[in-house]
Amino acid sequence: MEKIALMGHIVAGFPSFNASLEAALGIALGGAEYLEVQFPFSDPNADGIAITNACEVALQGGFNTDLGFEFIAQLQDKLAQNSLTTKLLIMTYGNILFCYGIKKFLQKAKECGVYGLIVPDLSLDNDEKLFKKAKKLGLENIALIAPLTKPKRMERLSHRSGAFVYVVARNGITGDTTQIDESLMQYVQRVKAHCPKPIALGFGIQSKEQIDALRGIVPIAIVGSAFVRYIDKACREEGEISEKLCAFTKGLLGD
């Protein structure tokens, strides 16, 4: 079976600071090579109901950007204690960076050992020099490619993106199931023709079967809303959150 890397996703502070910290550790223990740590935002326009609700809960609980960096720092300590090398990416929206200060935000991310960033609403031509500033600090700022992206723009995005590109599997918001069908495969091949960097495919990837179908097609599969929903479920039941998320992650990878 061909290898595929998994990128998991958590909303920091959902349903609480400590619970999300344990969930993040569990995902790493389960074999995720990458983890998106979402800094919650009040109007996450690319996200579906599961992540939107999680952001609201985290914000109502008092979560803020400084706590986000404290979360990253504590998670890095836990990863180190368990000899884990999971790469952490901060996923958030432009307003968070603007309010905090882009330079200050990037410097804090670097200090915390963050691998990269995913900021969906800061486009290539209106990014306030985010790509340039991130690259200067050695942070991988990841560009997004969507189904309606034109070939020439794909080429520009690939050139400017960090180590890989985030390919949005379908139009719309996160959460709904994506069909791994011929039209998706044609779209991925079209991206590959104009984008030499590795592809991380996300939006609506929720099951082992979907991930298996992507083996040999893309090197990285992104699972977002399914993790957020499972974290909510796991926190409502008895037992160690990290153990449950570890098992869930292993199940997605077939381990």
119: CATH: 3.20.20.70
Known catalytic residue at 56:
no
The 3-state secondary structure of the chain reads: CCCCEEEEEEECCCCCHHHHHHHHHHHHHCCCCEEEEECCCCCCCCCCHHHHHHHHHHHHCCCCHHHHHHHHHHHHHHHHHCCCCCEEEEECCHHHHHHHCHHHHHHHHHHCCCCEEECCCCCHHHCCCHHHHHHHHCCEECCEECCCCCHHHHHHHHHHCCCCEEEECCCCCCCCCCCCCHHHHHHHHHHHHHCCCCEEEECCCCCHHHHHHHCCCCCEEECCHHHHHHHHHHHCCCCCHHHHHHHHHHHHHCC
For residue range 126-156, what is the model confidence (pLDDT) as tens digits? 888 999 999 999 999 999 999 999 999 999 9
Structural domain range at position 107: 5-142+211-253
Known catalytic residue at 36:
yes
User: Choosing from 36, 43, 155, 209, which is the catalytic residue?
Assistant: 36
For residue range 61-76, what is the model confidence (pLDDT) as tens digits? 999 999 999 999 999 9
**What percentage of the chain carries pLDDT values higher than 70?**
95
Q: Quick one: average pLDDT of 27-39?
A: 98
- Kindly state whether residue 134 falls inside one of the protein's structural domains: yes
User: Choosing from 22, 33, 47, 127, which is the catalytic residue?
Assistant: 47
Residue 174: the pLDDT is 47
- Kindly state whether residue 161 falls inside one of the protein's structural domains: no
The number of domains in the chain is 1
